[in-house]
Structure 1
Amino acid sequence: MAAVLRAERVWVETFTGLRMAQFSGLLRVVRERGGNGTLRGRPWSLPLAERVLMVAVYYRTNLTMRQLGPLFGVSSSRVCRVIQRLGPLLAREPVSRPADAPERIWIVDGTLIPVRDRGVAASSRNYRFFVNVQVVVDADTRLVIAAARPVPGTMAVAHAWCASGLSEHCQGVTVLGDGAYLNCGMAVPHRKRPGRALLKGEEDDNAEHRRVRARVEHVIGRMKSYKILRDCRQRGDGLHHAVQAVAHMHNLALAS
């Protein structure tokens, strides 16, 4: 079976959003994490670069294993093993807390992702199963600072934030959130009170708050160009690894 996709510039830039130099950096990270080793059995038939590209194509297109197999000249079972092996290794590297963190502005927002695994999701009014993933973004660089593990999509936003454990990572940093994060220790818009309109200064503050906070929505929209985040068929930690890997590739694309 002849392979169609190879780790060449045109396919790398199409399916990862990275230039070849950035893809080489991603490849180096995966290699350092042990991606080139074998757990047992025969060695991999594909080089590491093409296996990393395979995972990126899977995240980008959300094709099935049976559809991906002919593109890389391997069986669908081999595709499954590659994704299970390399998916966690592509996950976003932990972003170290910068020394000037108290002077920076981070933005948080949650996004709903449809999943097939009912063990980690909850049914919504349209009978689809969703999870909620909390994402923290730097307002200036648009880099993803952290992405939490998914929680059931019916969980209230404030509860999802508390369950994410990200609040400890954001200690001492100015964090912007929308009105759903009231009493979560972050900057939220001014609220209208019964019988009391917003003052002129409060309206201006809210307008500026919306302008800055929109950046996290742009980042999440860009991450969702990877269709795995629009309908995830992975089970267990598969979605969490996919979110972290997409965040890692997003950060690499913005790094230079």
Structure 2
Amino acid sequence: MGGVLWAEPVWVETFTGLRMDRFAKLVKVVCERGGNGPGVGRHNYRFSANVQVIIDADTRLVVASARPAPGNKADAHVWRESDLPAKAVGTTVIADGAYLGTGLIVPHRKRAGRPLLRGQEEDNAEHRRVRARVEHTFARMKNWKILRDCRQKGDRLHHAVQALATMHNLALAG
């Protein structure tokens, strides 16, 4: 971490939101885990993938998954190109704000200088509650080593996601 020589606490707190002692701990942990410091990427990084999955918020079971797309493609674009919209016909699908214009239910956004109405705030609170269940399922799926360490391209990643979804569902079903 030779890139960070010295910084005034006011700048660290302004740009990171962390107190100086917390920032020092963070830098230490990043160094211990093999981080290369600011401005330098890891050398084992090959590519990222955009993997779309439909999860039932009530049961937390994975319902469907689409073929992976390159990680630099926008979520809404990948959704439209996948077979998931056809699989989701007749169901209510909620998504995060990255899916604007897809017909999915996304949170209300504030307009410049105009706060959200009370009903919109309540809608967003319910949206967050349901999305939290789905995001926890994503996090549990990412804990599986097969997906976390997967650097496969093409169908191999797709098959790994499908296998992981099956294992996830089996683990939940008991």
TM-score, normalised via structure 1 length: 0.49
Counterpart in the other structure of 1:218: 136
Please give the secondary structure, in 1, of the residue aligned with 2:51: strand
5+ unaligned residues in a row in structure 1: which ranges? Answer: 1-124
Other structure's SS at 1:173 match: coil
Q: How far did 1:150 drift? A: 0.6
Give 1:183 shift.
Answer: 1.2
| Cα distance in 2 between the residues matched to 1:183 and 1:146 | 21
CA distance in 1, matches of 2:85, 2:153: 27
Partner of 2:78: 160
1:237 corresponds to? 155
User: Counterparts of 1:235 and 1:179 in 2: how far apart (Å)?
Assistant: 27
Residue 227 and residue 167 in structure 1: after superposition, are their counterparts in 2 closer, same or farther (change >3 A)? Answer: same
What amino acid is aligned across from residue 52 of structure 2 in structure 1? Q
d(CA) in 2 for partners of 1:142 and 1:126? Answer: 35
Which of residues 149, 171, 175 in structure 1 aligns to 2:67?
149
Taking the aligned partners of 1:126 and 1:164, their CA distance within structure 2 comes to 31
Counterpart CA distance in 2 for 1:190 and 1:225 is 31
Aligned partner of 1:165: which letter?
Answer: D
**Is 2:138 the partner of 1:138?**
no
User: Could you say if the C-alpha distance between residues 177 and 233 of structure 1 is closer, same or farther in structure 2, counting changes exceeding 3 Å?
Assistant: closer
List per-residue Cα deviations over 1:149-193 (Å, max 9, x = no partner): 110000011001112210011111111101111111111111111
Q: Does 1:186 align with 2:104?
A: yes
Whole-angstrom CA distance in 2 between matches of 1:235 and 1:222? 22
Partners of 1:158 and 1:166 lie apart in 2 by: 12
Q: CA deviation at 1:126?
A: 4.9
Q: Distance between the aligned counterparts of 1:199 and 1:233, measured in 2?
A: 45
Matched, 1:199 2:93: no
Report how far residue 237 of structure 1 moved. Answer: 1.5
Cα distance in 2 for partners of 1:161, 1:126 equals 29
Question: What does residue range 85-164 of structure 1 map to in structure 2 within 5 Å?
Answer: 126=41, 128=45, 129-164=47-82
AA in 1 matched with 2:91: V
Which residue in 2 is equivalent to 1:227? Answer: 145
Which letter maps to 1:222?
R
The one of 90, 93, 112 aligned to 1:172: 90
Kindly provide the CA deviation profile for residues 103-124 of structure 1, in whole angstroms up to 9, marking residues without a partner as x: xxxxxxxxxxxxxxxxxxxxxx
Tell me the secondary structure at the aligned position of residue 52 of structure 2: strand
Give the C-alpha shift of residue 198 in structure 1: 0.5
Q: Could you tell me which residue of structure 2 aligns to residue 252 of structure 1?
A: 170
AA paired with 1:229?
L
Consecutive unaligned residues in structure 2, runs of 5 or more: 1-39
Percent identity between matched residues is: 66
The number of aligned residues is 132
The letter of the residue matching 1:250 is H
Give the structure with the higher percent strand.
Answer: 1
- Alpha-carbon distance in structure 1 between the residues aligned to 2:63 and 2:97: 21
Whole-angstrom distance in 2 between the partners of 1:134 and 1:209: 19
Q: Distance in 1 between matches of 2:152 and 2:49?
A: 13
The structure-2 alpha-carbon separation of the partners of 1:224 and 1:136, relative to structure 1 and needing over 3 Å to count, comes to same
Cα RMSD for the two superposed structures? 1.7
Partner SS for 1:176: coil
2:31: which partner in 1? none
